[in-house]
A and B are shown apart, each in its own frame.
Chain A
Amino acid sequence: ETGVTQTPRHLVMGMTNKKSLKCEQHLGHNAMYWYKQSAKKPLELMFVYSLEERVENNSVPSRFSPECPNSSHLFLHLHTLQPEDSALYLCASSPALLSNTIYFGEGSWLTVV
Chain B
Amino acid sequence: AQKITQTQPGMFVQEKEAVTLDCTYDTSDPSYGLFWYKQPSSGEMIFLIYQGSYDQQNATEGRYSLNFQKARKSANLVISASQLGDSAMYFCAMREGNGGFKTIFGAGTRLFVKA
Q: Which of A20-49 contact B (CB under 8 A)?
A: 31, 41-43, 45, 48
Taken together as a complex, chains A and B put the C-alpha atoms of A100 and B95 apart, in Å, by 8
Residues in B lying within 8 Å of A, measured CB to CB: 4, 33, 35, 37, 42-47, 50, 52, 91, 93, 95, 99-108
Contact between B106 and A42, CB atoms less than 8 A apart: yes
Contact between A90 and B43, CB atoms less than 8 A apart: yes
Please judge, given known A-B contacts A100-B33, A100-B95, whether A107 and B44 are in contact too, CB under 8 Å. Answer: yes
Supply 5 A–B pairs (Cβ within 8 Å), ascending by A: A92-B45, A100-B95, A104-B47, A106-B43, A109-B43
Closest 5 pairs between A and B when the two form their complex, measured CB to CB: A104-B45, A107-B43, A43-B105, A106-B44, A97-B101
What is the CB-to-nearest-CB distance from B77 to chain A, in angstroms, rounded to a whole number?
16
For the complex, count residues of A whose C-beta is within 8 A of B: 24
Please judge, given known A-B contacts A42-B106, A42-B107, A42-B108, whether A104 and B44 are in contact too, CB under 8 Å. Answer: yes
Taken together as a complex, chains A and B put the C-alpha atoms of A2 and B100 apart, in Å, by 26
Taken together as a complex, chains A and B put the C-alpha atoms of A92 and B107 apart, in Å, by 18
What is the CB-to-nearest-CB distance from B47 to chain A, in angstroms, rounded to a whole number?
6
A2, closest chain B residue (CB): B44
- Interface SS majority for chain A: loop
Task: Report which of B42, B99, B102, B103 forms a contact with A106, defined as CB distance below 8 A.
Answer: B42
Taken together as a complex, chains A and B put the C-alpha atoms of A100 and B4 apart, in Å, by 17
Contact between B102 and A101, CB atoms less than 8 A apart: no
Please judge, given known A-B contacts A101-B35, A101-B50, whether A45 and B103 are in contact too, CB under 8 Å. Answer: yes
Given contacts A31-B101, A104-B45, 14 further A-B contacts (CB under 8 A): A41-B107, A42-B106, A43-B91, A45-B102, A45-B103, A55-B101, A90-B45, A98-B100, A98-B101, A100-B35, A100-B52, A101-B35, A104-B44, A104-B47
